[in-house]
Amino acid sequence: MLLFRDISIKRKLILISLLTTGVVLLLASAVLITNEVIDFRRSMIKDLTVQAEIIGSNSTAALSFNDQKAAEEILSALRAAPNIMYATIYTKDGKVFAEYRSDGMKEDVLPPPPRENSHRFGINHLSLFHHIVFDKDTIGTIYIQSDLKELYSRLKWDVGVAIIVMFVSLSVAFLLLSKLQQSITGPVLDLVRLMQLISKEKSYSLRASIHSHDELGSLAEGFNEMLEKIQKRDAELELHRKYLEEQVSGRTAELSKTNEQLRQREEELKKRVKDLEDFYDMAVGREIRMIELKEEIESLKKELGKYKNP
Amino acid sequence: MSWELNTYAQQPKPSEYEVKAAFLYNFTKFVEWPTEATTDSGATFNLCVLGEDPFGKAFESIQGEKIINKKLVINRFKELHDIEKCRILFISESEEERLTQILKSLKGLHILTVSDSEGFAQQGVIINFYLEQNRVRFEINVDAARRSGLKISSKLMNLARIVYDLP
């Protein structure tokens, strides 16, 4: 599985948005359904209380004249309300006076001891005690037990609707996001592509196009500014390089000229040296010649002496 | 409270006339007297017994109860005088022979007539007790009820066996 931080911005954006939408929808649905259930329970209690009230009011005469058959007939009217599973009328002193069981209800259900006006929600039933008040006297109590099929089917319906709403909403959100995320990922991807191109081709004259005036716009602007600076510096460096080259070639020319001059001088000097050498050779030769001559003279003198002094 | 008489489950079991006395008291809650009748007759609600009184001590439990803010008083008559102050008139079986005459003299008065003799209802008594499987039941003569000007609750009607005047 990919880590969240390693997936693309496009996916991140979609994921973040869908997650946000989903959680918000889930919360909203939960609140709505809870509210609905609370509301429905309240209305169930109200309805059951009204039913108890009607039956109680109808059975005042039956209770007053101890007519159990009449009371049972009154209770049997509950057959019209299929949610009522069980009902009992108690006399003032708590004896069971009349009983009603819906068709599906088991025979062995025993009436609970009568209580004060109250209601109780069980897992699959709502039960309610209600005093039968007649002429300011409490003349009996009625107990009604309703199943919760309607509540549960309502709950099922609500959850189903919530799931459908969620599915549709998330699909629409996904479609919208696939389009809308481009306003963010587009400029980013452009920048990324540009960066890759520049680092590959080293052409700093390229510029990012600015799509918007938000942070991404500033990013592109900053990127362009940087490129501009790099380009400018490059140009300066190039200029510098050229200048230096010129300098160098100028100096080189100068140097070769000097060199030539030096060479000429050297040649001249060499010639002079040769001349001098030649002259020297000549002088030395003459000297030697002189010495030789002197020696010849000397020897001649000697020879001459011999001849004089015999 | 008279109420306790209404449950057979009580020990000891109430006698037939105790039950009937309680029923008489309970009738007052399901019968409406015209306003002139209830305002005219002073501070008491008079339950009258004409002829031999079969109740005896059975009335003790309801004597002094309040009905429409009036104290329930039991009056026993042998003859028909001062009868107009009665709201309920129980006509004893002993009066069988002069029943028609009694009923004739009650004409125009808003009095709930009650009896516990077979055939009385058909002769014009509004409510008549009878026994069915040892239980006290009652029949209502709707013609007589209409003539009396009293309003009898449909709830009470539902419990009663409906009878009419003999043709």
How many angstroms separate the CA of residue B122 from the nearest CA in chain A? 22
A120-128 contacts at long range (C-beta below 8 A, 24 or more positions apart):
A121/A41, A121/A148, A123/A148, A124/A148, A125/A85, A126/A41, A126/A44, A126/A45, A126/A48, A128/A45, A128/A48, A128/A49, A128/A52
State the DSSP string of A159-198: HHHHHHHHHHHHHHHHHHHHHHTHHHHHHHHHHHHHHHHH
Kindly list the residues from chain A whose CB atom is less than 8 angstroms away from the CB atom of residue B7. 66, 91-93, 95
Judge: B6–A137 Cβ closer than 8 Å, yes or no. Answer: no
Of B7, B136, B156, Cβ closest to residue A95? B7
Of A67, A93, A134, Cβ closest to residue B159? A67
Q: What is the pTM assigned to this prediction?
A: 0.69
Kindly list the residues from chain A whose CB atom is less than 8 angstroms away from the CB atom of residue B30. 61, 64
Burial class of residue A24 (count of CB atoms within 10 Å of its CB; 0-12, 13-18, 19+): exposed
Tens-digit pLDDT profile for residues A250-286:
999 999 999 999 999 999 999 988 988 888 888 888 8
CA neighbor of A114 nearest in space, from A81, A82, A91: A91
Which tokens sit at A293?
A: 């001559």
Judge: B159–A63 Cβ closer than 8 Å, yes or no. Answer: no
Kindly list the residues from chain B whose CB atom is less than 8 angstroms away from the CB atom of residue A92. 3-4, 6-7
- Rounded to 5°, the CA angle A93-A99-A102 comes to 150
Note which residues in 28-67 of chain B have CB less than 8 A from chain A: 29-30
Which tokens sit at B122?
A: 């058909």
How many angstroms separate the CA of residue B7 from the nearest CA in chain A? 7
Q: What is the pLDDT of residue A157?
A: 94
Q: Indicate whether A306 pLDDT > 90.
A: no
Judge: A65–B138 Cβ closer than 8 Å, yes or no. Answer: yes
Q: What is the CATH number of the domain that holds B106?
A: 3.40.50.2300
Which of the two residues, A127 and A206, has the higher pLDDT score? A127
Is domain A7-101+111-177 classified as CATH 3.30.450.20?
A: yes
ipTM: 0.84
Q: What is the pLDDT of residue A41?
A: 93
Kindly list the residues from chain B whose CB atom is less than 8 angstroms away from the CB atom of residue A95. 7, 9
Kindly list the residues from chain B whose CB atom is less than 8 angstroms away from the CB atom of residue A139. 3
Q: Using CA coordinates, name the residue in chain B closest to A62.
A: B159
Task: Name which of A59, A64, A73, A91 to mutate to probe chain B: the one with the most chain B Cβ atoms within 10 A of its Cβ.
Answer: A64
Tens-digit pLDDT profile for residues A207-254:
888 878 888 888 889 989 988 998 899 899 999 999 999 999 999 999
Instruction: Please give the average per-residue pLDDT across A198-206, as a whole number.
Output: 86
Of A63, A66, A137, Cβ closest to residue B8? A66
Q: What is the pLDDT of residue A219?
A: 87
Provide the domain count of chain B.
1
What is the full per-residue pLDDT of chain B (167 aa) written as tens digits?
334 444 444 456 788 899 999 999 999 999 998 876 555 556 788 899 998 889 888 888 888 788 877 888 888 888 887 788 888 999 999 988 889 889 988 888 889 999 999 999 999 999 999 999 889 999 999 999 999 889 999 999 999 999 998 87
Cα A75 off chain centre by:
65
Peptide bond into B12 cis (omega under 30): yes
Q: What are phi and psi of A147, to 5 degrees?
A: -80, 170
Domain boundaries, chain A: 7-101+111-177
Question: Range of B104's domain?
Answer: 2-163
Of A58, A135, A137, Cβ closest to residue B155? A58
Q: Compute the distance between CA of residue B112 and CA of residue B19 in angstroms, rounded to an integer.
A: 18
Q: Compute the distance between CA of residue A184 and CA of residue A11 in angstroms, rounded to an integer.
A: 12
